[in-house]
Amino acid sequence: MKLRPLVCIIALLLTGLTLWFAFHAAPVRSVLPGAEAPARHLLRIWVCSSVGGGESWLRDCLKSWEKQNPGAMTFLRVVSPEELTRPDAVLPDVLLYTPGTITAPQELFVPLSNALGIREPLLRAGRWQMQQYGLPLCYAGYALAIDSSIEPHLAVTPSPTTLLGKPAATAAPQATVTPGLPENVLPLAPKGCGLFTLGCLMEQRPPLESTLTTAEVYRQFQSRQAPAALLTTGQITALSSAFPFRVLTPGEVITDQVWLGSVFPKADATAASLLAYLTSTECQKKLTQQGLYTVREDLRLYASGTGGLMEAAAARALTALNAYIPAEDMEAAAWQYVHGQTGLSEALLPLL
């Protein structure tokens, strides 16, 4: 009985020693459970201007990119160009814009080097002083939409049937050939580059008062206040189920509707790779949902209809205006051309 306390003390000491050795012999985790997950980082994207339908396409692509890059998050914000030059501005990683928004890219962006597989006329749109500052992501063209309320006999025309405003074959050989612009109809057209397309479509050019934006022209045609209007292909797609209208497509594509992406000097390391992802085949195939066109050399998206005709026209001749030419210069050159004051080549040359 006298030995029992001693035995208990010895047992407790042995238990303590066993626990001490077990604790120090076991590998110690240097991080807490779950801390091995990829570090989360935020990529900030600003949109100054966009082509019709582009933002919906972008959001869809960003969701896919986040899934493929664990830990990556994107934040999308629409801003005015003035926010880029505010003294207290905290600039984002990526800026998306269309021609005429930025005029001094070398003061804002870093040159890009991952422009692989992109059509050269579109690359030139984002090039300034021999440096590639903007990567083209997609583009739209211009076409003339004619409300079938002024020509009801053509209300069921399934696809565009003219090129350059003259009768031409369509993607469907059995389709009926339709005329160009009806007589005494003055089309509504936005100021700027679209006037080049309008001039190519019209054999006779009536006097125009083109001071509206593309959005304002779209709203008037959508509300059926204008019998004919020059619209972007994205706008035409958005209206496709609203009411019957037919479309005159050009024989070549001349456009400022190019969406470009640029990277700021202090951007996250993933910024350039995101832009490259947006030009991948995976993302570019999704452009058909918005009536937009691929920038890739090795990809065609449309087989028929307005999309097919516009893509075929772009394959023949695609002219994309330089993104960094002031909008006022672009508008003045287009105005002179559509009113016959200068030729097409002479008007376009200073804008390339």
228 against 35, higher pLDDT: 228
pLDDT in tens, 296-314: 999 999 998 899 999 999 9
CB atoms within 10 A of CB 299: 15
Residue 214, domain member (yes or no): no
Angle in degrees, CA 259, 264, 265, rounded to 5: 150
Q: pLDDT at position 296, please? A: 97
Look up tokens 């080549």; give the residue. 345
Nearest to 235 by CA among 331, 122, 170, 143: 143
Q: How many domains does the chain have?
A: 1
Tell me if 96 is assigned to some domain.
Answer: yes
Average pLDDT, the chain: 85
CATH code: domain of residue 292: 3.40.190.10
Euclidean distance between CA atoms 167 and 209, whole angstroms: 27
Whether this model's pTM surpasses 0.85: no
Residue 48: inside a domain, yes or no?
Answer: yes
Domain hosting residue 129, numbered range: 41-139+257-303
C-alpha 213/C-alpha 191 separation (Å) is 6
Residue 291 domain-assigned?
yes
For the ranges 77-81, 137-141, 151-155, 181-185, which has the lowest average pLDDT? 151-155
Residues 259-271: what's their mean pLDDT? 94
Query: Could you tell me if residue 27 is inside a domain?
Result: no
In a domain, 314, yes or no: no
Is 22 domain-assigned?
Answer: no
**90, 58 Cβ separation under 8 angstroms:** no
| SS3 state at 184 | coil
Q: Is 84 within a domain?
A: yes
